[in-house]
Amino acid sequence: MTAKFKILLVDDHKANLLVLQRMLEAEGRTFVLATSGHEALDIAREQDDIGLVMLDVQMPDMDGYEVARQLKANPQTKDISVIFVTATNKDEEDMLKGFEKGAVDYLPKPLHKHLTRAKVDVFERLYYYQQELKMALKAKEQVNGQLERFMHVVAHDLKSPLSGITSLLLILREEEALQQSEELLSFVDMAVGASHKLADMISAILDYSREHQDNQPEEMVEVKALLEQLVQLLFPPANVHIRVADNLPALYTSRQKLQQVFQNLISNAIKYVDKPQVEIAVGGEDRGDYYQFFVKDNGPGIAEKDNERIFRLFEKIDNDDDNGKGTGIGLNILKLLVETQGGKVWVESVKGEGSCFYFEWRK
């Protein structure tokens, strides 16, 4: 049920309050009346759902300017809109004083019914927009909080065994048998490098969970060069062929986040290989405010019913041939990374023929 728009009317003459209330009565509105500045402040502090204050300027004991000043000084009431209602002709200096104290508009007495109703209608719509925004921000904060807790658990659980693997590789590298084989040493060095790179990615996930997107470092990124480096780090098997388009842009963005998205998609294409020769193509095109990238493969494909489900947390496609591969985490993280850029991610696929993942990245 939608909350009613509550208006606090303040005037030291009760008759003026009643006239104003009758003028503004409409479905979905409720009114609270106060005959002094002190009473108005008490009501505003006690009732946290007031959307608008219509405030007489000239009142004994405490005038409208002081009431507005105290409303704006209190964190609990500072966001309430205030309209001054005045019976005197205000010059520019007095009006500026009123705006400085917190008024957002003036209405002269005697009040013009249609003008008064029109202005209040505007503030009513503004109030509901603000409430919707607050609810959206609250929901976003809850999701971010859940994401942060989840990321910390995942990163902690991954880092411990990874550190052990790296340590064992470094010990193994010192073995005499390996020292006598340059080829084996090269393989171990590649494995150590990959382990360090994975540790960096886990750290980046932790950073992502802690910091607001605006706090993430940005730099000019040559996307083609980034992808070429990434392909080398992934050590694709000999039967996997990855083609990177030449016409890729340079973007001012977070290198780590963009790399995480590409790494997830390309790694999945390699991981779920089901053909003797695997073809992976990476490219994109300019779409105005966004650059639309794609990663296309000739792998097992995805059933249409799973096209959206695979982006949900811990969701995996029903595939008897995957041998338990994947955790259902990667694509969900990918989706979150893309959405923090204001873009979206989706897949087009034919079961048995391959998939093409698309994502938008804001310029």
Place of tokens 């002081």: 66
Helix (H, G, I), strand (E, B) or coil at 143: helix
pLDDT at position 144, please?
Answer: 66
Domain boundary among 111, 129, 144: 111
In a domain, residue 21? The reply is yes
In a domain, residue 57? The reply is yes
Domain boundary among 111, 129, 164: 111
- The Cα 226–Cα 217 span in angstroms is 16
345 and 233: one domain? yes
CB 61 within 8 A of CB 36: yes
Q: Could you tell me the CATH number of the domain that includes residue 23? A: 3.40.50.2300
358 and 219: one domain? yes
What is the widest separation between alpha-carbon atoms in the chain? 101
Give, rounded to a whole angstrom, the gap between the first and last alpha carbons of the chain.
40
Q: In this structure, is the dihedral angle defined by the CA atoms of residues 172, 173, 176 and 182, taken in order, positive or negative?
A: positive
CA neighbor of 259 nearest in space, from 233, 283, 294, 226: 226
CA neighbor of 71 nearest in space, from 104, 31, 93, 111: 104
Place of tokens 């259902």: 328
222 and 356: one domain? yes
In a domain, residue 170? The reply is no
Domain boundary among 111, 141, 169: 111
pLDDT at position 222, please?
Answer: 95
- The Cα 33–Cα 35 span in angstroms is 7
In a domain, residue 198? The reply is no
User: Order of strands across the sheet with 278-287?
Assistant: 240-244, 278-287, 290-297, 354-362, 345-350
Q: In this structure, is the dihedral angle defined by the CA atoms of residues 304, 311, 358 and 319, taken in order, positive or negative?
A: negative
Please list the rounded mean pLDDT of every run of 10 residues in the chain (363 residues): 82 92 93 94 92 90 88 86 77 57 74 91 90 81 69 70 84 83 86 82 64 64 94 88 94 89 91 88 92 94 76 56 51 82 89 92 88
In a domain, residue 104? The reply is yes
223 and 103: one domain? no
CB 31 within 8 A of CB 9: yes
- The Cα 22–Cα 6 span in angstroms is 14
pLDDT at position 266, please?
Answer: 94
CA neighbor of 354 nearest in space, from 293, 267, 281, 258: 281
Q: Could you tell me the CATH number of the domain that includes residue 327? A: 3.30.565.10
If one counts the domains in the chain, the total is 2
In a domain, residue 134? The reply is no
In a domain, residue 51? The reply is yes
In a domain, residue 157? The reply is no
Q: Which domain holds residue 15?
A: 5-111
pLDDT at position 251, please?
Answer: 93
